[in-house]
Structure 1
Amino acid sequence: MTPQQIEYVLLVAQLRSFSKAAQKLYITQPSLSKYIINIERQLGTEIFDRSTTPISLTAAGEAYVATARQIKAAQDDLANRIADMQNLRAGTLKIGASTFRTSYMLARSISQFCREHAGVEVSIADNNSENLKEMLRAGQIDLLISTGSFDPKYFDVEPLATEQLYAAVPAAAPVNGKLADWQLSWEDIRSRSERFLRAKPVDLSRLRDVPFILPQQEEFNEEVMQRSFIAFGGLPEPALRVRTIDAAFSFVVSGFGMTLIPDTMIHFGNYAAHPVFYALEPAHAQRQICLVMRRSSYVSKAAAAYCLTLKRLVEIGTWRIL
């Protein structure tokens, strides 16, 4: 496999479209299709099943792509080792994170790293947690910032910070009148006010009359929400399912429904309006944000330098957007 063959096949496999891949490669779709057909002729079998929409990999295609990813990871590893000999004057750094983490938490550390190491090319892969784990295992990214569980057989995990979920309820919801003693404002949470320090966890069963909004992707999905409701008979039937936590929050602010919101969003989201918040039982609503790397992999100087930058900002509390 040549580097160009690997690049073209992997991009088509990722996007599942010849036309979309051609646009990213700045070539015409007929040229890309012809190129892939030539590879398939050399192999004596088809890589892509063109009878499906979107296109999919054949069994041979799955094997080809798996091997291509291994070769690409080895090529990147070699490039990083050579770049390290130039003492961070060149090289690459590939960081994996959900869209939420990228938007709310990583901009400051990445910006500082780029200023300090202008010769290193930084790229961010934003995807859901499971896909990012597979990308890390395959060597497609150098490190991952995420929550959740990680198999120690494949990953080295270092906790960075603790994240707390809060119940977010529209300010005009009638239930707030019955729970005045439990209410917190976003100012209470940001400033860690006396009210915040005295706040007791709310009984989530008391909020069941408020329609529940369920995010379905990224790190705040049904499994995560289910844990917070476990002591109250399980997750309520969602009145609305949305794709992201940002979308769920927008509906709450507009006056419809409740959801669970991470304190990261409360501290560092740039919102003009906020709902009423309620503290939850920490045992069910706290999670560790972790720095994850592939076990026994080569750690480039760029990756090591970024980790030091990130951890330094975590220690002084300025790693997130203020």
Structure 2
Amino acid sequence: MQLQQLRYFLEIAKEKSISAAAKNLYISQPSLSQQIINLEKELGISLLIRHSKSVSLSEAGEQFLVHAQRIVGETTQLSELMHKHSILQEGTLRIGMLWIAGYINLFQVLADYRKLYTNLKYDLKIDGTSILLEQLLKRKLHSAFIIGSDEQFELQKDLFFRRIMMDRYVAVVSSGHPFAGKKSLSLRELHNVPVIMPSRASAFYRQLVQYFEQYHITPACICETSQSDAVVRLAAQNFGVGFSSDSIARSMQTKEFRIIPLEEVIVRRIYYVTLKELLDYPSIRSFTRYVTHYPFDRLNSEEKEPRKITK
């Protein structure tokens, strides 16, 4: 049984004439008659009662009509739904966003994209880089904005990635801190100095530890957190030296704390990442194309690589 045969049958049932139905369907009457005969043979029952100039439905034909109308109707609805998906009038984007997304205007990207495709829905996961990348690789997210490096993502052969932002890390200290008047700060100066370390799960934590080991110094860690609000507020209250990306620190700037550039150039790179296998899917292809062409405001006029660490 073919869907086209169901449509032929419905047209005949509507017109009560094979010749009239054939005219409406733009096929020859013999071809249409043969299609219905083939259908009846397959079903093992006559659907039509043929008269000299018209047809009527048999009892089986009446029941077949009800089911054929439902099947064709649902098939049409399904086809229309899939078409809506293809033209981005239907569907859900599952996107991973960093905790710091609000500070670096990543939500604005979504807002601008939503203006173009108002019928799409969004399912957002807000978390840290390690969790978002794990969710992406488990196919629980369609794409994510995360912190990383080219070297890291190149190891994942099934990922498409594009760097969209880069920023330098800075020190944040209370306005009353002894370092507050410095124009720059070296990590060498932090021996036995209270510091607010980033989370151990972050790449930034590992970079800081490498420098401390290289310089043979041990800062006095009072806590570990990558929550920007907590870092800045603790530093502003003179609990210790905090670390933040320059853009986030400036977005929270008050008279209570000072931002000091680090002499060791440590950068934070933010990437848009998705799975290569999803790039042919309309909504993911569209969103990926939009993000990779989005005019992100660069926070640094020049992109310097971090200083190499020698052990």
Q: Which TM-score applies when normalising by structure 2?
A: 0.60
Alignment deviations for residues 200-222 of structure 1 (CA, whole Å, 9 cap, x no partner) = xx322223353101232774763
Q: CA deviation at 1:280?
A: 2.1
Distance verdict in 2 for CA 1:223–1:153, change over 3 Å: same
Question: Residue 277 of structure 1 is aligned with which of 242, 252, 259?
Answer: 259
Distance verdict in 2 for CA 1:253–1:164, change over 3 Å: same
Checking the alignment, whether the CA contact within 8 Å between 1:158 and 1:290 is kept in structure 2 is yes
Which residue matches 2:275?
294
Task: Name the amino acid aligned to 2:116.
Answer: E
Separation in 2 of the partners of 1:303 and 1:85? 11
Greater than 6 Å deviation, 4+ residue runs: none
Checking the alignment, whether the CA contact within 8 Å between 1:175 and 1:207 is kept in structure 2 is no
Task: Name the amino acid aligned to 2:90.
Answer: A
Question: Residue 174 of structure 1 is aligned with which of 175, 178, 183?
Answer: 178
Q: Higher relative contact order by CA 8 Å / sep ≥ 6: 1 or 2?
A: 1
Pair 1:125-2:151 in alignment: no
Question: Residue 195 of structure 2 is aligned with which of 190, 204, 212?
Answer: 212
Which residue matches 1:158?
162
Distance verdict in 2 for CA 1:217–1:95, change over 3 Å: farther
Unmatched runs of 5 consecutive residues or more in structure 1: 1-80, 184-201
Separation in 2 of the partners of 1:103 and 1:274? 19
Question: Residue 305 of structure 1 is aligned with which of 286, 291, 311?
Answer: 286
Separation in 2 of the partners of 1:134 and 1:260? 26
Separation in 2 of the partners of 1:217 and 1:306? 32
Checking the alignment, whether the CA contact within 8 Å between 2:93 and 2:122 is kept in structure 1 is yes
Q: CA deviation at 1:273?
A: 3.9
Q: CA deviation at 1:173?
A: 0.9
Separation in 2 of the partners of 1:214 and 1:83? 51
Which residue matches 1:258?
241
* Overall identity of the aligned pairs, in %: 16
Q: CA deviation at 1:99?
A: 1.5
Distance verdict in 2 for CA 1:86–1:156, change over 3 Å: closer
Distance verdict in 2 for CA 1:127–1:99, change over 3 Å: same
Separation in 2 of the partners of 1:119 and 1:253? 44
Q: CA deviation at 1:115?
A: 1.7
Q: CA deviation at 1:110?
A: 0.8
Q: CA deviation at 1:249?
A: 1.2
Residues 99-138 of structure 1: pairs in structure 2 closer than 5 A: 99-102=99-102, 104-138=104-138
Unmatched runs of 5 consecutive residues or more in structure 2: 1-80, 300-311
Checking the alignment, whether the CA contact within 8 Å between 1:220 and 1:245 is kept in structure 2 is no
Distance verdict in 2 for CA 1:280–1:270, change over 3 Å: closer
Checking the alignment, whether the CA contact within 8 Å between 2:192 and 2:218 is kept in structure 1 is no
Which residue matches 2:219?
236
Distance verdict in 2 for CA 1:120–1:87, change over 3 Å: same
Separation in 1 of the partners of 2:133 and 2:228? 20
Give the total of aligned pairs.
Answer: 216
Residues 26-175 of structure 1: pairs in structure 2 closer than 5 A: 82=82, 85-102=85-102, 104-148=104-148, 149-150=152-153, 151-175=155-179
